[in-house]
Amino acid sequence: MSHLVTIWRAAQLVGVARGVLQQQVRDGALLLNDGMVSTDVLLKLYPGAKLEESGLLERVAQIRDEAFGRRVRERMLPSQEVLAQRLFVQSQELADVRRHLERYHALVIALQKSVRESVATHPGDAGWRNLEQRVTQGLAQALATESVGLLEVMDDMLKVMTAQVTVRPSGHEFSVEGRTNLLQSGLHAGLKLNYGCGNGSCGMCKVRVISGEVAKIQQFDYPLSETEKSQGYVLMCCHTAASSELTLEMLEATGPKDIPAQHITSRVRAVTTLAPDTVLLHLQTPRTHRLRFLAGQSVLLGWTMPGRPDVHTTYPVASCPCDDRNLLFFIARNESDALACRLFAGDIKIGTDVTVLGPTGDFVLSGGHRPLVFAACDEGFAPIKSLIEHAFSLDAAPSLSLFWLATRDDGHFYSNQCRAWSQALDQFEYELVTHSEVAVGAHQIALAMRADLFDIDCDFYLAGPPEFIHTLSDELRAAGVAAAQIFAQVP
Write out the residues near ligand FES by the rule CB under 6 A. 195-198, 200-205, 222, 235, 237
Q: What is the closest distance, in whole angstroms, from the C-beta atom of residue 176 to ligand FES in the complex?
A: 16
Decide: 407 and 378 in contact? Cβ < 8 Å: yes
Q: CA-CA distance, 291 to 289, in Å (whole number)? A: 7
145 or 219: CB nearest ligand FES: 219
203 or 212: CB nearest ligand FES: 203
184 or 473: CB nearest ligand FES: 184
Torsion of CA 216, 221, 223, 228, to 10 degrees: -20
Beta-bridged to residue 239, according to DSSP, are 216
Q: What is the closest distance, in whole angstroms, from the C-beta atom of residue 194 to ligand FES in the complex?
A: 8
Q: What is the closest distance, in whole angstroms, from the C-beta atom of residue 199 to ligand FES in the complex?
A: 6
Q: What is the closest distance, in whole angstroms, from the C-beta atom of residue 288 to ligand FES in the complex?
A: 9
Q: 3-state DSSP helix/strand/coil percent for the chain, to nearest 5? A: 40, 25, 35
Q: What is the closest distance, in whole angstroms, from the C-beta atom of residue 240 to ligand FES in the complex?
A: 13
Q: CA-CA distance, 18 to 171, in Å (whole number)? A: 14
Q: What is the closest distance, in whole angstroms, from the C-beta atom of residue 223 to ligand FES in the complex?
A: 11
| Residue from 98, 71, 393, 93 nearest 243 by CA | 93
178 or 196: CB nearest ligand FES: 196
Reduced to 3 states, what is the DSSP secondary structure of residue 328? strand
Q: What is the closest distance, in whole angstroms, from the C-beta atom of residue 192 to ligand FES in the complex?
A: 14
Decide: 467 and 439 in contact? Cβ < 8 Å: yes
39 or 181: CB nearest ligand FES: 181
Omega of the bond prior to 169 within 30 degrees of 0, cis?
Answer: yes
Decide: 30 and 6 in contact? Cβ < 8 Å: no
Decide: 32 and 25 in contact? Cβ < 8 Å: yes
Decide: 42 and 3 in contact? Cβ < 8 Å: no
Which one-letter DSSP state was computed for residue 378? G
Q: CA-CA distance, 356 to 283, in Å (whole number)? A: 9
Which one-letter DSSP state was computed for residue 348? S
Q: What is the closest distance, in whole angstroms, from the C-beta atom of residue 175 to ligand FES in the complex?
A: 20
Label residue 198 left, alpha or beta by phi (over 0 means left) and psi (-120 to 50 means alpha): left
160 or 202: CB nearest ligand FES: 202
237 or 472: CB nearest ligand FES: 237
Element (H, E) at 305: strand 298-305
233 or 454: CB nearest ligand FES: 233
Reduced to 3 states, what is the DSSP secondary structure of residue 216? strand
Label residue 212 left, alpha or beta by phi (over 0 means left) and psi (-120 to 50 means alpha): left
Q: What is the closest distance, in whole angstroms, from the C-beta atom of residue 263 to ligand FES in the complex?
A: 17
251 or 275: CB nearest ligand FES: 251
Q: CA-CA distance, 410 to 29, in Å (whole number)? A: 46
Q: What is the closest distance, in whole angstroms, from the C-beta atom of residue 249 to ligand FES in the complex?
A: 16
154 or 204: CB nearest ligand FES: 204
Query: In terms of DSSP bridges, do strands 308-316 and 428-434 run parallel, antiparallel, or are they unpaired?
Result: unpaired
Q: What is the closest distance, in whole angstroms, from the C-beta atom of residue 236 to ligand FES in the complex?
A: 6
186 or 203: CB nearest ligand FES: 203
**Which amino acid, 437?**
E
